[in-house]
Structure 1
Amino acid sequence: MVVRPFKVVQTKDVPRGTPEFEEKRAALLRAFADKIPQEYYIPEDVANNPPQDVSGLATQFGILTPKEVEITENYDATGLAEAIASKKHSAVEVVTAFAKRAIIAHQLTCCLTQWFMDEAIEQAKKLDEYLEKNGKTIGPLHGVPVSIKDHMPIAGTYSSYGYFGSIQHDEKDSQFIGILRSMGAVFYCKTNQPQSLMHLESDSHWGRVLNPYNIQLSAGGSTGGEAALVAMKGSVLGVGTDIGGSIRGPAAFCGIYGFKPTSYTLPMKHMIAAPFPAELNVLCSIGPMGRSLRDMDLMTKGILAAKPHLEDPRLVPTKWTGFETPVTKPLKIGIISNDGFIDPQPPVKRAIAWAKEKLSDPKFKDLVEVKDFTPYNAAEAWSKIRLQYWPEGGKAVVDHIEETGEPVHPLSAWIWKDAEVHGMRTGLDVSTMRGERDEYRIKFAQHWNSQDVDFVIGPCFVGPASQHDTAFYWTYTSLYNFVDYPGIVVPTPIKAEKGEQYAEDYKPLSDACGHVKQLWEEGNFEKAPINLQINARKYHDNELFGALSVLKDILELV
């Protein structure tokens, strides 16, 4: 048998580095490819000439058995855990199905960085033996495959910050991963992310992640590999981090669910190898990504049940009530049509109109009260957060990237260019930034209160998924990192359509707004899904899920 090369679809290559770097990168990719059985290769003609929409292709190649199709398509994580606990499916059957589908998804979208099917099957065998012997499961995720973002340490695997020089081997699980393991989760792959983790397209030394619904578009970042994998049904539940939209952006680009909690709610101990300067003023969160609201609740509840604050004193002790949080009065919902800085592209405006119409139906008047809402000075928040991400001017990251001969990618340079000119800030500078941040937070809260709303619903991004290398403006997500409010993104039935145009009376709210219109007119966004974002006040994560228990049926959520 002639062994053909293992091919991963790339519609736009990542920039090339020095010959020495490219040689090291090629060796890394070969080592990955050498692990893949040829019977899992997709047809060569598809790899060489894929359709624009690859989201439904995984079942068409005969690689998955009918039962594996059923396992990967017909459950969310909650349902899958129940099926394994009742012995309808074994943990080995389930992880085999998802590992196979994940490697198919990778060939079509470049969503993976590591794939360890054999190790996952061994882990699943032990879980099956435990269930058979004891008549009970290890925990609420017993046998459920969970995909993990590349930078998160899993014992026996590698992690990185999305560039070659940051790769390291991890001997121990990070705290979050360890808790998932104790809940019975099975780990079978790690997923792609951006160079430096700090922009909204997942393009690393592993390649560029493609959007399953339109491979000419981005899957988002920084947790773009996770989002694409879940959308391709190669994962039922994943884990992301979010310091500017890194859970919510890719979840929205790929039409799945993603939850960013208030910072220091869920544990991030040992999640990155070195302190991250951005977190001097802008705090990161970790949270679930998946197929349903109840899966967001399931993972959050399970992690907090382990009382992670006893191990990490940075965490705020939180009792999770989630969907059981009582709702005792009609919800006051603010609808964000635009943030006063950038008017969203046409399909996003349609999704907002759809949600407003649903919520305004007279039959729900005892459940929700709908109001128009505008966030406080989104342009100021975007300007400040771009500087506060990089108190060292980005130089340390640039030096670390370039020392191996790797090139700096366009969106990496874009996100730190405002801070770069200031160079390394002093301690006093950083303290002053914190004062500005806190002053903004107070004004934001006052502005929220003056509009008398409990929750807000609005865009996740300035448009649907962006074209490659054009995710410049994350204002709709980074705003809530700056004020540290929790948020969840949810799918809608709206998709971008060919030929959609801006309204005739459109007037740009800013230069950035005009640029967003230009990007729309230059691109092809057909079939890109549209999500909406729902936010609550800081530390009102339980109340957000209580509200979701009401909004779920109104907005046709699962």
Structure 2
Amino acid sequence: MVARQFGVVQPKAVPKGTPEFEEKRSALLRTLEESFPTEYYLPAEIISNPPKDVSKIPSTCGILTPEELEITEGYDAVGLAEAIAARKYTAVAVAKAFCKRAVIAHQLTCCLTQFFQDKALEQAAQLDEYLEKNGKTVGPLHGLPISVKEHMVLAGTYSSQGEFSTIVKNDKDSQMISIFRKAGAVFYCKTNQPQTIMHLETDSHWGRTLNPFNIDLSAGGSTGGEAALIAMRGSVLGIGTDIGGSVRGPSAFCGIYGFKPTSYTLPMKDFLQSPFPAELNILCSTGPMCRTMKDMELFVKTILDAKPYLEDPRLIPIPWTGLKTPVEKLKIGIIANDGFIDPQPPVKRAIAWAKKTLSDPKYADILEVKDFTPYAAADAWKKIRRMYWPDGGSGPIEAITSSGEPIHPLSEWIWKDAKPHGMQNATAVAYMRQERDNFRMAFAENWNTQDVDVVIGPAFVGPACAHDTAFYWTYTSLYNFVDYPGVVFPTPVTAEAGEKYADDYKPLSDECKHVKQLWEDSNFEGAPIDLQINARKYHDNQLFGALAKLKDILSLP
């Protein structure tokens, strides 16, 4: 008989804290382990000697039944909801399948923080009973399993702001969770996020989340647990947040869809226990992470149909037309680089693929393709790194060190520019806002001068990065700074062994030179490549209309 014992693959450990902290952390991890049924444990040799690409193990390990493989691999969220409504599968069968696959995924990628199968199966059974009794579903998400990022408030679970000392028990749902629950969603797990929730990787007191396609690479952050889980097909639809790329970055690293709306489009009420000073100038957004375009639409439409602005007056009640938004001839700007950091080779191949495909003369009547250079990307990166931390980072530093937790390298990195300035007063923050708004005006003028409807470009400086090296978020954070919506979408391109920079490469900056060095220091083989498409602020419908127009041309799922 094959030996099975619980373990989690961790090729690079997270930093250690004080002995007292490590004792508390061990107790936390034991609690998570005890929530997993032993029959879901992988063979010990897989944990001790995993392949670089672990994405195929759930399908071949023998833990999932043929029906469970069909449920988790054969449908997107839209199709699965339809199958449950048609009674092809019970909600209980679907919940069980995703619970099992989530535990398998966690052992291979460290993507979970909490797991509550019993609650999920109880909720699913109630939904099955309702469908049997009433002959109809409770709503559009009836029986659909949805995974949730750790900081989001979900009744009966714990949440944190990325530090051990901020863990609290929640007794009620946040607004979005409440909307989804009423629509029939089933909640079964929460997923890993980084320390401070402000890394473009996911490394926390729960461990380090790995990229399913190359475990020596990151799954991204801050919504990295979601990205890895969805890529492993342990979730069909997840919820992310994005203040610098935290939906788009991990989605791109793991080869799935991720949507960052314009701020105050979708509700974030009660997502955090306490306010985040960065939002004095840089607003966060929440959005879907999934495997198809239709699933993004299902996510957004379900929420907006509930009229969340009636409960949260900060939200803007924009009528949603989404993928049905009519689009005339589409003017597309192609970003080869942002003038600051030239992307690594496989990203350049993906850009070339998109430009060549879209420039085919047979599409000339519906598409106009032109080169595009974003306005002042280096300056935006410099400004946003200061504006994230008007407190100089003092708040999270205190939250981390108060429990004996170690400060992770990427935490030090992200507040490095702001820390010397210390706590800013109200006047200084107001001047930051003026600086931000002046940039936004110049950015809009530059966009108008280049005359495009949408732009397509890199989602990151490369594919998924090696652990602890996600230093430059320039391609995503720029659109948080100007508050433009963006979607990352999968391409047929993956990183290949032996790829090299062009012989005539010349660095655009010291940071660009560093990115080349990072490429040469690591092996990125197998990492998927996403691209990013962006539209003007409040043009979220037009962004989805553009995606619908490009779907068949680019063969997008």
Q: TM-score under structure 1 normalisation?
A: 0.99
Q: Secondary structure at the match of 2:534?
A: strand
Unaligned runs of at least 5 residues, structure 2: none
Contact kept in structure 2, 1:164 and 1:406, CA below 8 Å: yes
Whole-angstrom distance in 1 between the partners of 2:158 and 2:404: 21
**In the alignment, what sits opposite 1:334?**
333
The answer to whether the 8 A contact 1:459-1:533 is kept is yes
In structure 2, the partner of 1:143 is 143
Q: 1:371 corresponds to which residue?
A: 370
Q: Which residue of 1 aligns with 2:113?
A: 113
Q: Distance in 1 between matches of 2:282 and 2:260?
A: 14
Does residue 177 (structure 1) correspond to residue 170 (structure 2)? The answer is no
Deviations 1:77-130 (A, max 9, x none): 000000000000110000100000000000000000001111100000000010
Q: What residue number does 1:210 align with?
A: 210
Instruction: Output the amino acid matched with 2:155.
Output: A
Deviation at 1:488, TM superposition (A): 0.2
DSSP-derived class of the 1:332 partner: strand
Paired residues of 2:211 and 2:219 also in contact (CA < 8 A): yes
Alpha-carbon distance between aligned partners in 2 of 1:415 and 1:348, rounded to the nearest angstrom: 24
* Superposition deviation, residue 524 in structure 1: 0.4
1:455 maps to a residue whose letter is V
- For 1:230 and 1:524, locate their aligned partners in 2 and report how far apart those are by CA, in whole Å: 23
**In the alignment, what sits opposite 2:345?**
346
Distance 1:75 1:128 in 2: 19
Q: Is 2:129 the counterpart of 1:129?
A: yes
Q: Which residue of 1 aligns with 2:456?
A: 457
Residues 6, 44 of structure 2: 8 Å contact kept: no
Contact 1:3/1:38, CA 8 A, preserved across alignment: no
2:139 corresponds to which letter in structure 1? G
Residue identity in the other structure for 1:157: T
Paired residue secondary structure (2:331)? strand
What are the residue-to-residue correspondences of 1:402-421 with 2, within 5 Å? 402-421=401-420
Is the contact between residue 201 and residue 470 of structure 2 (CA under 8 Å) also seen in structure 1? Answer: yes
Contact 2:160 2:166 in 1 (8 A): yes
Say if 2:50 is the partner of 1:32: no
Aligned: 1:264 with 2:264? yes
SS of residue in 1 equivalent to 2:295: helix
Q: Deviations over 1:168-211 (max 9, x none)?
A: 00000000110011111000000001000001110010000000
1:35 and 1:488 map into 2 onto residues whose CA distance is 35
SS at match of 2:67: helix
Give the whole-Å Cα distance in 2 for the aligned partners of 1:259 and 1:321.
Answer: 16
Query: Is the 1:219–1:228 Cα contact (8 Å) retained in structure 2?
Result: yes
Q: Would you say the 8 A contact 2:231–2:256 is kept in 1?
A: yes
Q: Name the CA distance, whole Å, in 2 between partners of 1:412 and 1:466.
A: 16
Give secondary structure in 1 for the equivalent of 2:508.
Answer: coil
How far the C-alpha of 1:31 sits from its partner, in A, is: 1.0
Is the contact made by 1:15 and 1:409 (CA closer than 8 Å) also made in structure 2?
Answer: yes
Is 2:281 aligned against 1:281?
yes
Q: Is the 8 A contact 2:457 2:532 kept in 1?
A: yes
Give the letter aligned to residue 18 of structure 1. Answer: T
- Which sits farther off after the overlay, 3-12 or 438-447? 3-12
Matches within 5 A, 1:41-190: 41-190=41-190
- AA partner of residue 168 (structure 2): Q
Given that residues 220 and 253 in structure 2 are in contact (C-alpha distance below 8 angstroms), is that contact kept between their aligned partners in structure 1? yes
Query: Which ranges of structure 1 fall in alignment gaps of 5 or more residues?
Result: none
User: Aligned partner of 2:126: which letter?
Assistant: K
CA contact (8 A) 2:3 2:44 kept: no
Shift of 1:162: 2.0
Q: What is the alpha-carbon distance in structure 2 between the residues aligned to residue 258 and residue 34 of structure 1?
A: 32
In the alignment, which residue of structure 1 is the partner of 2:542? 543
C-alpha deviation, 1:499, in angstroms: 0.5
Work out the CA distance in 2 between the residues paired with 1:204 and 1:556: 37
Q: Structure 1: which amino acid aligns with 2:478?
A: L
Matched, 1:496 2:495: yes
How far has the Cα of 1:366 moved from its partner?
1.3
Asked if 1 retains the 8 angstrom alpha-carbon contact of 2:223 and 2:250, the reply is: yes
- Structure 1 residue 4 displacement after superposition: 6.3
In the alignment, the residues of structure 2 paired with residue 157 and residue 524 of structure 1 have an alpha-carbon distance, to the nearest angstrom, of 38
Q: What corresponds to 2:523 in structure 1?
A: 524
Task: Report deviation, 1:59.
Answer: 1.6
Identity of aligned residues (%): 71
Q: Distance in 2 between matches of 1:143 and 1:413?
A: 42
Question: What is the distance in 1 between the residues matched to 2:466 and 2:69?
Answer: 31
Report the secondary structure of 1:369's partner residue. Answer: strand
Aligned length: 557
SS in 2 for 1:453: coil
Aligned to 1:383: 382
Q: Distance in 1 between matches of 2:355 and 2:90?
A: 43
Matches within 5 A, 1:448-487: 448-487=447-486
The answer to whether the 8 Å contact 2:161/2:273 transfers is: no
Matched to 2:169, the amino acid is H
Q: Provide, for residues 384-443 of structure 1, a one-character-per-residue CA deviation record: whole Å limited to 9, x for no partner.
A: 000000000001110110100000000011000100000000100000000000000000
1:282-331 Cα distance to aligned partner (Å, 9 max, x none)? 0000000001001001110110000100100111111111011111x210
Q: Alignment partner of 1:286: what SS?
A: strand
Q: TM-score with structure 2 length normalisation?
A: 0.99
Give the counterpart letter for 1:371 in structure 2. K
1:522 is aligned with what amino acid?
D
CA distance in 1, matches of 2:348, 2:547: 22
Equivalent residue letter for 2:166? S
Distance 1:262 1:194 in 2: 23
Code of the aligned partner of 2:52? Q
CA distance in 2, matches of 1:2, 1:470: 37
Give the Cα–Cα distance (whole angstroms) in 1 for the partners of residues 433 and 477 of structure 2: 16
The CA distance in 2 between the partners of 1:457 and 1:2, in whole Å, is 49
- Which residue in 2 is equivalent to 1:435? 434
Aligned partner of residue 421 in structure 2, secondary structure:
coil
Contact 2:5 2:42 in 1 (8 A): no
Q: Report Cα offsets for 1:1-42 as digits up to 9, x if no partner.
A: 999652000010000000000000000111111121211100
Matched, 1:22 2:18: no
* CA 432–236 in structure 1, closer or farther in 2 if over 3 Å, else same: same
Q: 2:391 is matched with which residue?
A: 392
Asked if the contact 2:249/2:459 (under 8 Å) is kept, the reply is yes
SS of corresponding position for 1:494: strand
